[in-house]
């Protein structure tokens, strides 16, 4: 599946270097996880979408147009994917533990952006932390930081 994703991205950015394609693939993987958290809530709120846009813009230093393109591709990719493993594997390969902890904190920010965590969101977040090989204590700390920042 990662090859399919990489091939798809290659068609979108055919003249890009391997490093640029790798960065775009990482951006898409991150967007997919953020969108999956948003979709896990029975009622996706506009606040969650805005939070995703802000996170992607900040994390990857993208323009508004690039963020819009990335989230559009992320939504399409989420609809056609059947698991998260392909995306978390890519993130695990490309990012070290502190960067992955930052990703899990972003995911918690999306989950908290509507001011409540459903049981399904909580379960998904535990699963993502496991897939991203985030130690339990670091996941709890990231959750607390995201909750504090979101509810301020």
Name residues whose C-beta falls within 8 Å of residue 36's C-beta, 6 or more positions apart in sequence: 78, 84, 124
- Residue at 61 is within a domain: yes
Express each pLDDT in 88-128 by its tens digit: 999 999 999 999 999 999 999 999 998 888 889 999 999 99
The answer to whether residue 14 sits within a structural domain is: no
pLDDT, mean of residues 138-146: 96
pLDDT of residue 43: 74
Residue 84 lies in a domain: yes
Give CA–CA dist 108/128, Å, rounded: 10
For the chain, how many structural domains are there in total? 1
Predicted confidence band of residue 149 (pLDDT cuts 50, 70, 90): confident
pLDDT for res 68? 95
- Express each pLDDT in 8-54 by its tens digit: 445 444 445 455 557 889 999 999 999 999 998 777 678 899 999 99
Q: What is the CATH number of the domain that holds 123?
A: 1.10.3680.10
Q: Does residue 25 belong to any structural domain of this protein?
A: yes
List the domain range (segments joined by +) for residue 143: 2-9+19-150
* Degrees, nearest 5: CA angle 115-101-8: 95
Query: How would you write the chain as a 3-class SS string?
Result: CHHHHHHHHHHHCCCCCHHHHHHHHHHHHHHHHHHHHHHHCCCCCHHHHHHHHHHHHHHHCCCHHHHHHHHHHHHHHHHHCCCCHHHHHHHHHHCCHHHHHHHHHHHHHHHHCCCCCCHHHHHHHHHHHHHCCCCHHHHHHHHHHHHHHHCC
Residue 103 is assigned to a structural domain of this protein = yes
- What pLDDT was estimated at residue 76? 95
pTM (global) more than 0.95: no
């Amino acid at each position: 599946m990662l090859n399919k994703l990489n091939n798809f991205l290659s068609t979108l950015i055919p003249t890009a270097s391997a490093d640029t394609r790798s960065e775009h693939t990482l951006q898409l993987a991150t967007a997919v996880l953020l969108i999956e958290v948003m979709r896990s809530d029975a009622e996706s709120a506009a606040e969650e979408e805005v939070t995703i846009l802000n996170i992607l813009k900040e994390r990857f230093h993208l323009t508004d147009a690039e963020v819009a393109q990335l989230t559009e591709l992320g939504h399409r990719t989420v609809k056609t994917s059947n698991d998260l493993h392909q995306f978390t594997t890519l993130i695990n390969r490309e990012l070290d533990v502190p960067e992955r902890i930052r990703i899990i904190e972003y995911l918690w920010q999306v989950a908290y952006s509507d001011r409540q965590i459903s049981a399904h969101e909580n379960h998904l977040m535990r699963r993502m932390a496991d897939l991203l090989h985030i130690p339990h204590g670091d996941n709890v700390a990231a959750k607390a930081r995201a909750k504090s920042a979101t509810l301020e």
